Structure 1
Amino acid sequence: MTFLLWISYKGTNYAGFQVQPNAPTVCAVLQDAMQAVFGQRPDVKGCSRTDAGVHARRFALSFCYTGKVPMEKFVPALNAHLPPDIRAVAVRTVPDGFHARYAAHAKTYHYYILNARVDDPFTFDICHRIGPALDLAAMQAAAAQFVGTHDFSALCASGSSAAAHGDTVRTITDCTVIQSGDSFVISVTADGYLYNMVRILAGTLAEAGLHKRTPNSIPALLASRDRRQAGPTLPAKGLFLERVDYPELDSL
């Protein structure tokens, strides 16, 4: 049978989700737990490759398993063998051939910024601090300019395999900025992402908030397809994979 498992993790101690030969990864730790629970190491298909230091509130992965452990035992059994910064959250069956990455209709990322002069010792490793005051209205106006179907080459870091093949058009369906006290949350929902796209987008919105660029400069930025015209790539520690949407599962 094929299963879809949702997990949540803090990525601080990991070199991303995907298994790497010489670095600890979320997938490798999860597969270690699966080996302990299932007596086998299933081939895991993750919904994303999340970079080193990136976190996830609801990451999805699919795998096949035909053993004797009942599905209702998966979550508690896996959590008994996982470290506290990785948690299994929920599981369900899905049709054979289901792939957590290719079946995803959209993904939502959040980027967290602390707008303060001093780091918060309780959140320093899960958000990026910016000292000077940010203009929320300017950031919101700039964020709205990213919504739609565009060539996002200007928001793509070098080394992207998609960019190398000219596959740089994506559709952002929602891009907002919310402030609560000294916390700013940038939310982006899209059908796909380029390498470091959200972190560069967040850096560009931060520049708008610091009045280093105007919101109406965004269309020209996108049209330029020039990474040098966009803002800095903000640190990975502020980025969270918030949600993955599989609309077809609602009817199953």
Structure 2
Amino acid sequence: MKKNYRLTISYDGTRYQGWQKQKKTSDTIQGKLEEILKRMQPLYGNRRGEEAEAGLVSEDSVRPDEIQVIGAGRTDAGVHAKAMTANVFLDITIDEEGLKDYLNRYLPDDISVDAVKIASDRFHSRFQALAKTYCYSLYCGDAKPVFDRKYVTILEHRPNVERMRRAAEDLLGNHDFKAFCGNPKMKKSTWRRIDAVEITEDGDYIRIYYRGNAFLQNMVRIMTGTLLEIGFGRMPTDAIPGILASLDRTQAGPTAPAKGLCMMEVHYD
């Protein structure tokens, strides 16, 4: 009998083409997870364990569409995650700890399954998420951030953070974020709710935390690029209401690089 397993996953997205599985590449987070689970199924599947031990079943006997890892979000290529939530239905003989150990044994070193627990059959990692928190990390010091270079965007100059904070207040609430969407062919609703934007300073590091009910493609990176334009004085502090009203991507700032972005948490009841 299949059970719904809830996974908490962290990953360094540097060498991956995002979360979502793609036909043209195997270098996605979802693809790596499903590949390992497909190999596991003949060994630990409830109705196949004895046959696998006898050599009567191979991993090719498991159809790929039998296993689907559903993520709470679809991070872009190069984006990282500290705590992505996912769920997958499996009919296996090993317990949650055994599943976690198996996955971590065979996953690459830049992907980790940090927790596994059995959820209700009705749990859906994406549809039941109430909000998500992302962090965008910036560095503006003189010395090279050698050990953080894959996880921060390096700035030549320090922006005016107070200007950025004032402007960020205009992002809060429910808005049509079409101007902050990286997909010009988006047909679904581009209305989203931003609950909080917090900008912190820690020495040479500036971090922008965004919490919202959902985010459009590249939305966090475009908001970050826009706030930086304001911080550098290239846009006025009251620019965001006009950008939102325009529904025009060209009115917003540039898309900040992927490497500075990390999914921090998915919020549920």
> TM exceeds 0.5?
yes
- Tell me the amino acid that sits aligned with residue 17 of structure 1: W
CA distance in structure 2 between the partners assigned to 1:28 and 1:228 by the alignment: 33
Matched, 1:59 2:84: yes
CA distance in structure 1 between the partners assigned to 2:107 and 2:237 by the alignment: 44
* Partner residue of 2:224 out of 195, 202, 208: 202
* Partner residue of 1:170 out of 192, 198, 215: 192
Q: How many residues align?
A: 244
- Tell me the amino acid that sits aligned with residue 86 of structure 1: I
* Partner residue of 2:174 out of 142, 149, 155: 149
CA distance in structure 2 between the partners assigned to 1:150 and 1:19 by the alignment: 30
After TM superposition, the structure 1 stretch with the greater mean CA deviation from structure 2, 213-222 or 62-71, is 213-222
Q: Tell me the residue number matched to 2:31.
A: 28
CA distance in structure 2 between the partners assigned to 1:192 and 1:228 by the alignment: 22
Change (3 A) 1:88 1:160: farther
* Pairing of 1:218-229 with structure 2 (within 5 A): 218-229=240-251
Deviation at 1:34, TM superposition (A): 2.0
- Deviating 4+ runs (over 6 angstroms): none
TM-score, structure 2 as length reference: 0.86
* Pairing of 1:39-78 with structure 2 (within 5 A): 39=42, 42-78=67-103
User: Quick check: 1:36–1:81 contact (8 Å CA) kept in 2?
Assistant: no
The gaps in structure 2 that reach 5 residues or longer are 43-61
* Pairing of 1:37-116 with structure 2 (within 5 A): 37-39=40-42, 42-116=67-141
Q: Tell me the residue number matched to 1:250.
A: none
Partner-residue secondary structure (3-state), 2:19: coil
CA distance in structure 1 between the partners assigned to 2:154 and 2:106 by the alignment: 34
User: Quick check: 1:144–1:176 contact (8 Å CA) kept in 2?
Assistant: no
After TM superposition, the structure 1 stretch with the greater mean CA deviation from structure 2, 27-36 or 97-106, is 27-36
Identity score, percent: 36
Partner-residue secondary structure (3-state), 2:121: coil
TM-score, structure 1 as length reference: 0.92
Higher gyration radius (CA)? 2
CA distance in structure 2 between the partners assigned to 1:118 and 1:52 by the alignment: 27
Q: What is the aligned-residue RMSD (CA, Å)?
A: 1.5
User: Quick check: 1:117–1:132 contact (8 Å CA) kept in 2?
Assistant: no
Matched, 1:11 2:13: yes
CA distance in structure 1 between the partners assigned to 2:133 and 2:41 by the alignment: 31
Partner-residue secondary structure (3-state), 2:171: coil
After TM superposition, the structure 1 stretch with the greater mean CA deviation from structure 2, 26-35 or 59-68, is 26-35
Partner-residue secondary structure (3-state), 1:15: coil
Deviations 1:14-36 (A, max 9, x none): 00111112221111211222234
Q: Tell me the residue number matched to 1:183.
A: 205
User: Quick check: 1:13–1:53 contact (8 Å CA) kept in 2?
Assistant: yes
Deviation at 1:117, TM superposition (A): 4.7
- Tell me the amino acid that sits aligned with residue 7 of structure 1: I
- Tell me the amino acid that sits aligned with residue 13 of structure 2: G
Partner-residue secondary structure (3-state), 1:80: helix
CA distance in structure 2 between the partners assigned to 1:159 and 1:21 by the alignment: 22
CA distance in structure 1 between the partners assigned to 2:183 and 2:131 by the alignment: 24
Deviations 1:137-186 (A, max 9, x none): 1111111211111111111123453xx23x11111001111111111111
Partner-residue secondary structure (3-state), 1:186: strand
The gaps in structure 1 that reach 5 residues or longer are 248-252
User: Quick check: 2:33–2:69 contact (8 Å CA) kept in 1?
Assistant: no
CA distance in structure 1 between the partners assigned to 2:228 and 2:207 by the alignment: 11
